[in-house]
């Protein structure tokens, strides 16, 4: 008969993983399977589209790009004007 123990652990230095299973007697033969959680990475566009206000700003910005309604700033000139 198989039984299971589920634990979360954090990989330590040099890939070391420590588990504590006090319910298992010393010398018990076990087989270990490591399942790795893939972090969910959210891109900026998805983040911005979550809020209605941000979504409106983003869509307006996209419309401006399509219409070539852009403002160009020469950063060198801007920096000189601030001095």
- The DSSP code sequence of 12-75 is -GGG------TTSPTT--------PPPPPP--HHHHHHHSHHHHHHHHHHHHHHHTT------H
pLDDT tens, position by position, 10-61: 899 999 999 888 888 899 999 989 999 887 888 888 888 889 999 999 899 9
Let me know: does 17 contact 9? Beta carbons within 8 Å: yes
Q: Could you tell me the pTM of the whole model? A: 0.40
Let me know: does 9 contact 18? Beta carbons within 8 Å: yes
CA 12 to chain centre: 20
């Amino acid at each position: 008969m198989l039984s299971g123990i589920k634990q979360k652990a954090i990989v330590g230095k040099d890939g070391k993983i420590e588990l504590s299973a006090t319910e298992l007697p010393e010398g018990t033969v076990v087989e270990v399977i490591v399942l790795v959680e893939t972090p969910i990475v959210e891109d900026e566009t998805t983040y911005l589209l979550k809020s209605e206000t941000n979504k409106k700003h983003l869509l307006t910005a996209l419309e401006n790009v399509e219409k070539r309604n852009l403002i160009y700033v020469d950063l060198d000139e801007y920096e000189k004007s601030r001095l």
